[in-house]
Each structure stands twice: as structure tokens, then as C-alpha cells.
Structure 1
Amino acid sequence: MSSKKKRRNKKLKIVFFFIDIILLVLIAGFVYFFYLTGKTNVDKSGDSSITSNEIDSDSIGGYRNIAIFGVDSRNNALEKSTHSDTIVIASINKKTKDVKLLSIYRDTYVDIPERGYDKINAAYFRGGYPLALSTINKNFDLDVKEYVTVNFDAVCKVIDLLGGIELDITKEELKYVNGYTKELNEINGTNVGKLKSAGTQVVNGTHATAYARIRYTKGGDFKRAERQRIVINKIFEKAKTCDVLTINSIVNEMFPQIYTNLDSLDMLDLAKDIFSYNIVDQAGFPFEKIADYYKKISYVFPVDLSANVTELHKFLFDDQDYVPSSTVQEYSDFIKGIVPQK
């Protein structure tokens, strides 16, 4: 064999060696990813019972919509029999990877399928994620099939692993942050101290979660939903700057505390584009609303549900001329009959 041929064979062996190493690393990475996602509390048992209206799916076909539920549970439970005090639709444009966040106010007056009219956060309490998603779909002409539910402890720990997030705490908010911090300490078995002053500062997970729970300042629950979106945005942006070890710690800590119907393959599909996602806009729903009492219970009423749903589709999917379904129009007419007149 000529020396030239020997050198070529040697080079090929080196190339194949590095290819083998790369393949082994990739396989090990996939195995480890599936090991981690296997720790997640995956529940698809109610997927077949999720309902939606008959709508033209062309305008929403290019988007992946995931409902994020933050549950108000004093024992950090994740399933039904706990109210979903945070309801956020994360809408991902499949082509551009742009993300929009839409908070649905927890007291919004809706028709819960086969249960009647109530606050939207009661749907999760009464029937877990299938009823909560069906309620969202039926009242707003959506087709959301995927969900992620988190509790107080998970949010606190993720923010701590990120090294905290920067928030601007007002003087009015400060006392409530400290009040909720005390409550979160009792829930999570922690001993986090009070914030000493207002202003822009890096806060830990407990203080950030406490901030997201405030509802007694000016703006009430509408302002609280805005704070929740701020915290989600801050977490997302901070996570995109983290190194692999930090991301690994977050995944290891958070996955066992997530309740979802996203299995390992679904999560891998989302994770592959994580650094391409950008949160480009956020809002609260209903857009036009009245907060008032009906039968001695406080609700958030859409002034005109049909008009609000048209605006929702314009905001999330850039559908400029969306016409709500007959089901939404029926709900809208009913709500108009009981909305307090100003």
C-alpha cells in the first residue's frame, strides 16, 4: 500500500472516530433529556374530552397555543380542586417563533360547559385541565389542547436558580410583597426575609412570586395579571442567557413539579427552538370589560364578548376580520343582558 493511500486511510479513520464521538454525545444527550422529561407529571387522560367550537382553523393553524395555569394551592397541589389564579395563553408563531402572551382575568364571567356561568378560574377547580381548556375554547373560539400547570414552589425555585430577576417594586407594592412572602414561606417551608426598600432591584424567587400575586393595589386583578406577565417575560429572557449547567439545574428542579400533557417528544419539539423564541407582545383579556357584582358576587364582564373575541383573534393571530362563531355570539347576547349598566 502506498504512503499516500495510508495517509488517506488514516484521515478517514480520524474522521469516522470524531463522527462516532459526536453520535455518542448526541445519543447521550437525547437519553438524558428523555430521562429528565420522564420526571414530569404527564397527564393526557382528559385529552379526548377537550372540546371546542366549529371554527375556521386556517387563521390559527400556523400557531401553537399552550395554556399556562398557575394554581392557587396552599399545599402546592397541581390537579383539580384548586383554582387557576393564573391563566395565560402562550401563542407561538410556528414560522417566526414570535410569542404573544394573553392573560385571561381569573374572574371573567364565562359559560363553563355543562356547569353553567361562573368565574373562569372555577373551571380548573371543577374539572381539571380538560374542563379548563374546553371553557377557554368554547368561550373564545380557540382550539387549545396543550397545557402546563405550575405551583408557587416551582416558580420560586426556578427564579432562584436563575439568580433572581430584576423588578421595579413601587412603595405601594412593597408591603404586599412582604405580606405574601410570609405566606409563601409557610407554604414552601422557607425562611425568606422581607424586602427592605422599593425601587428597581434583583429579587429572589419568593419575592418575585409574591409580587406576581398582588391584587390589592390600584388596578386590582387587572394589574396582577400584568405583573404575572412581567414575571413570565423576565424568567424567559433570563433563561435565554443561561449556561448549560444552569439550564440543566432548572430542568432537574422544575420538571418534577410540572403537571402537563406535553410528553418528552412534545417538549423536545419545543426545546429545539428555545433560543429562537421572542416574546413580542402581551395583553389582558377581556380587552373591554366591566368589573362589578351580579347576585352579590364580583365578576369581570366582557362588555361585548363577540367584539372581544374578534379583538383576541386580531391580537394573537393577526386575523383582521374574524367573525365569532354562533356559540360565542349566543354567550355574548346572554352576558349583555346581565352586564351592569353604567
Structure 2
Amino acid sequence: MRNNQGNFENERALVKKVKKKKKKRLRRLIIIELLIILLLIPVVYLYFQLGRIPRQEINLDNIEINNIDLSELDGYRNIAVFGVDSRANDLQKNTRSDSIMIVSINKKTKDVKVCSLYRDTYVYIEGHGYTKLNHAYAYGGPELAINTINKNFDLNITDFVTVNFSAVTNVIDLLGGITLDIQDDELKHVNNYTRDVAKINGTKYTYLDKAGKQTVDGTQATAYCRVRYTAGGDFTRAERQRTVMSQIFKKAKKSNPFTLAKVANKMIPQIYTSLSNSEILGLGKDIFFYDLGEQAGFPFDKTAKKIGGVSYVLADTLSSNVTKLHELLFNQTGYEPSKTVQGYSSEIAHK
């Protein structure tokens, strides 16, 4: 009897132990599920919000890729990024692209390289002849702008993102500001533009008290992007824009999904793109793995000259600069430009 009683008590203790373990496991599963749901809420919310983005599906029949082998570029996702300063938020065309960048993502390593294309670069635009690169967007929107970039620089871009500069202000504020090293010769101009940016966006503003490394808000950072009245003119202006872009990228990598969802929600009405929801989310999910690498401005070797009384940026020569561009973005050494680029290069040299 005593043995039976002892066995019975042992069995009861074992059952209790098993039940306790099951409860713990169940509690752990519930906590994990709740965490997953909490993480998914901003993702699901973001997916539906992305549907509000105005889009343009690029007609590939209107995008010319020079008759050369660009198979080495298949390992990269190349996106044209246009920044416009439109008070009417007109992102589709009829506005010159104030900022033009190529963002090249190595699909395998997740390395990201950024190259600014100087807006006054002298290029050939289909149907309009030789003129400034930033005119292409005004003449024919992103399709003509992409077509112009591909034909003049031997690229295979088929996607774009256009952002209004006011979106830059909003994003930086939501991220809690970014760090910039303001130089002495920039301070006065940053403060002057800060007032102008605030007036355009209808926001309050504060002036910077001194130069040096400091945290700036969205209005101040956007003002910094617009400064061009220092040594280097528009070339250093493009460099400032890349600096702000890289600082936004660094801050975003450290942010939580809820903050990123707020950022996306604020940007959505101020973006115009060819990318689908799934493509945006596909790029976004890797944000924590991207490594922002080399940055530069194109043309690398250049001269500012007037043609017909208008100031342009001329490549010395276009062919040699395109070779350097392919080396920077795609690690192609000794790239030989297409006959189309060589033809443009010769005509520009004559002019």
C-alpha cells in the first residue's frame, strides 16, 4: 500500500511538473506571438500606406540602352533619384531636377554607392539637342531623364524615385535630427536658406549660433543642401546633398520599425516612383544590412564654361569620365564606352 501511495504521489508530482512546463512554454509562445504581431503592425500598416504613392510605370520602349554588353551590371540594382524643389509638389514633370543621383546597390554584398550627376552637365537630350542634364526631367519627366542618363553614360537604369525637398525636412525631424559639420564659410548661407526653407514649408525655424559639428533639424539640414555660394559652387552643393543623404541613411539604420513607419507615412505624399510596393519593401527590409560606400560627383574631370552665353559643366572628356564612372559604381576596369557615348564625347569636345 505504501509503495502504491508513493508511486501515486510521484505520478502526481510528475504531472504537475509537466503541466507547469506546458504553461511556461505556452506563456513563452504567447509572448513571442505578441512580439511578432507588434513587429508586423508597422509593416502591414506601411504596406497599405505605400499604396498611396503616386506611381509611373516606366515604358521600357521609351528607355534606350546603348547597343553594348551591360551584363556585368546585372549584379547591381541601379536607381535614379531626383530631388525637386516644387512648392506645388509637382513631381511628375514641368520642374527641373535640382538634385540627380545614381544609387547603385550590389545585390550580393549589399554595398551601396552614390554618384551625384551635376545638374548643369552638358549632355544630349533626345528631341532637344545638347543642353543641361536637369532640363530632361522638365521636358519629359523621369522617362526622358532616365533615357538621357542611360544614353550619355552607358547605364541600364529602369527605375526612379523622385522626392520633394520638403520631404527631406520632414524625414530628418522625425528621425530626431542629423549630425553635420558646418564650416565657417557655410554658416551665414545656411542661416539665410533656413529662413527661406521655413517660409516655403510653413514651419518655424532657429538660426545656428556657430560653425562646427552639431545636430541640426530638418529645416537647417535642407538649407545646408541648398548652399552653393561658397568655394566649389554647385560641385560642393552636390557634395552637401550626398552628406545629408548618408547621414539620413545612418540615422535610419539605428531607428526602430515604428519610427521608420512614421517616416514612410510622412514621405508618401511627397514621393513619385516606378517601384512597386513589394520592391520598396524588398529594398527596405535590407536597410540594416546596407553599407554605404564610395560617393562622388560626375563628371570627375570637368570644366565650367559658357556656350552661347549659358554656363555649363563640360566633361573632359565624356568618354574618359564614363570609363571612371563604371569603375566607381561597378568595379569595371578599363571600360570602353559605346560608340554612342564616343560620338557625344567628340561633339562636346568640338563645342
Greater helix content:
2
From 40, 44, 64, the counterpart of 2:57: 44
What is residue 3 of structure 2 aligned with on the other side?
none
Shift of 1:256: 2.1
What is residue 66 of structure 1 aligned with on the other side?
79
Shift of 1:11: 5.6
User: Is 1:246 aligned to residue 256 of structure 2?
Assistant: no
From 242, 249, 252, the counterpart of 1:236: 249
8 Å CA contact 2:194–2:219 kept in 1: the answer is yes
Query: How far apart are the structure 2 equivalents of 1:73 and 1:31?
Result: 30
Rate the CA distance shift 1:41–1:47 in 2: closer, same or farther, 3 A. farther
Shift of 1:48: 4.3
- Larger C-alpha radius of gyration, 1 or 2? 2
Superposition pairs for residues 294-305 of structure 1, below 5 Å? 294-305=307-318
Letter in 1 for 2:299: P
Letter in 1 for 2:112: V
From 280, 284, 287, the counterpart of 1:274: 287
User: Is 1:222 aligned to residue 228 of structure 2?
Assistant: no
Query: How far apart are the structure 2 equivalents of 1:282 and 1:320?
Result: 18
Gaps of 5+ in 2: 1-10
Give CA deviations for 1:126-146 in whole Å, capped at 9, x if unaligned: 100000000000000001111
Tell me the secondary structure at the aligned position of residue 332 of structure 1.
Answer: helix
What is residue 299 of structure 2 aligned with on the other side?
286
Query: How far apart are the structure 1 equivalents of 2:111 and 2:216?
Result: 27
Of 20-29 and 147-156, deviating more is 20-29
What is residue 186 of structure 2 aligned with on the other side?
173
Shift of 1:288: 0.6
Rate the CA distance shift 1:75–1:221 in 2: closer, same or farther, 3 A. same
Shift of 1:175: 1.3
Shift of 1:245: 2.2
Of 17-26 and 154-163, deviating more is 17-26
Give CA deviations for 1:124-167 in whole Å, capped at 9, x if unaligned: 01100000000000000001111111112100000011111111
Tell me the secondary structure at the aligned position of residue 59 of structure 1.
Answer: helix
8 Å CA contact 1:75–1:187 kept in 2: the answer is no
8 Å CA contact 2:105–2:113 kept in 1: the answer is yes
TM-score normalized by the length of structure 1? 0.91
Gaps of 5+ in 1: none
Rate the CA distance shift 1:33–1:47 in 2: closer, same or farther, 3 A. farther
Query: How far apart are the structure 2 equivalents of 1:27 and 1:210?
Result: 36
Of 132-141 and 262-271, deviating more is 262-271
Rate the CA distance shift 1:239–1:333 in 2: closer, same or farther, 3 A. same
What is residue 93 of structure 1 aligned with on the other side?
106
Tell me the secondary structure at the aligned position of residue 67 of structure 2.
Answer: coil
Rate the CA distance shift 1:55–1:22 in 2: closer, same or farther, 3 A. farther
Letter in 2 for 1:161: L
User: Is 1:134 aligned to residue 151 of structure 2?
Assistant: no
How many pairs were matched up? 336
8 Å CA contact 2:190–2:224 kept in 1: the answer is yes
After superposition, the CA RMSD in angstroms is 2.4
Query: How far apart are the structure 2 equivalents of 1:143 and 1:44?
Result: 16
Rate the CA distance shift 1:116–1:163 in 2: closer, same or farther, 3 A. same
Shift of 1:45: 5.4
User: Is 1:182 aligned to residue 195 of structure 2?
Assistant: yes
Letter in 2 for 1:180: Y
Tell me the secondary structure at the aligned position of residue 88 of structure 2.
Answer: coil
What is residue 271 of structure 2 aligned with on the other side?
258
From 69, 76, 79, the counterpart of 2:92: 79
Query: How far apart are the structure 2 equivalents of 1:272 and 1:207?
Result: 29
What is residue 329 of structure 1 aligned with on the other side?
342
TM-score normalized by the length of structure 2? 0.89
What is residue 147 of structure 1 aligned with on the other side?
160
8 Å CA contact 2:169–2:219 kept in 1: the answer is yes
User: Is 1:309 aligned to residue 312 of structure 2?
Assistant: no
Letter in 1 for 2:126: P
8 Å CA contact 1:65–1:89 kept in 2: the answer is yes
Letter in 2 for 1:243: N
Letter in 2 for 1:38: G
Shift of 1:272: 1.7
Shift of 1:50: 2.1
Letter in 1 for 2:242: R
